[in-house]
Structure 1
Amino acid sequence: MTDWSDPRLPTRQTGRQLKRMSRNFAGVGVGIPPERLQQIAKGETATEDELVDVSFALTATQLISEKRRSKRGRAQQHCVRGAIVGVAILIAINVLLCLGLLLFVLTQHTSPY
């Protein structure tokens, strides 16, 4: 489980990672440019509102990520369950066909009288 009590910005990130983080933040309603995120992560002074926004955005993006991960896990379980049922049906049909063939062969060897 994720530690929700004290979310912090990672200090070492590339420009691409900061741009992605900025887009994720915008997705939860916090518009902070990547350059400003880098400055805050390096320890430059930030207003209380910025710190609250960053904290909220980190928590919200972590929550969204965990929801997405759990949804993917449920979908994967659903697919595995469906595959198991499909294989069980194929095995049952195979057994029934084999029994039918066995009965047909046994009836061919018996005489009618």
Structure 2
Amino acid sequence: MTDWSDPRLPTNQTSSPRQLKRLSRNFAGVGVGIPPERLQQIAMGHAATEDELVDVSFALTATALRSEQRRSKVGRAQRRCVRGAIVFVAILIAINVLMCLGLFLFVLTQHTSPY
């Protein structure tokens, strides 16, 4: 069971007007238009229609799902960057080893006598 499978609206004690505005914008991003004032009323326990409760429940679930997808996308990008950095460092090490071997062979040929 994930954290978005049981959606709950933040209570009035834990939500500021700024948080409610952000929550309202997030809800609008998933297609549910509820003003922050109405969200505050619902959070305080005022009467809400069944449609509003369904909309709030859907919006909470959808925003949590979008957030989880965004976090997984960022995680994949970070892993890809780390993998690329490891490959880059491995290539640098391989080039360094080849150059050292070439220098070593060059020095060996300089110390041999021509006769």
TM-score normalised per structure 2: 0.95
Aligned letter for 1:58? L
Aligned letter for 2:81? C
- Aligned mate of 2:86, from 78, 84, 87: 84
Counterpart in the other structure of 1:65:
67
Q: Secondary structure at the match of 1:83?
A: helix
Residue by residue over 1:57-86, the C-alpha shift from the partner in whole angstroms, topping out at 9 and shown as x without a partner, is 000000000000000000000000000000
Change (3 A) 1:102 1:66: same
Distance 1:84 1:55 in 2: 44
Distance 1:102 1:15 in 2: 71
Over 4 Å off, 4+ runs: none
- Give structure 2 stretches of 5+ with no counterpart: none
Task: Kindly indicate whether the alpha-carbon contact (under 8 Å) linking 2:9 and 2:43 is maintained by their aligned counterparts in 1.
Answer: yes
- Name the % identity: 85
RMSD: 1.0
TM-score normalised per structure 1: 0.96
- Give structure 1 stretches of 5+ with no counterpart: none
- Aligned mate of 1:41, from 40, 43, 49: 43
Distance 2:85 2:3 in 1: 36
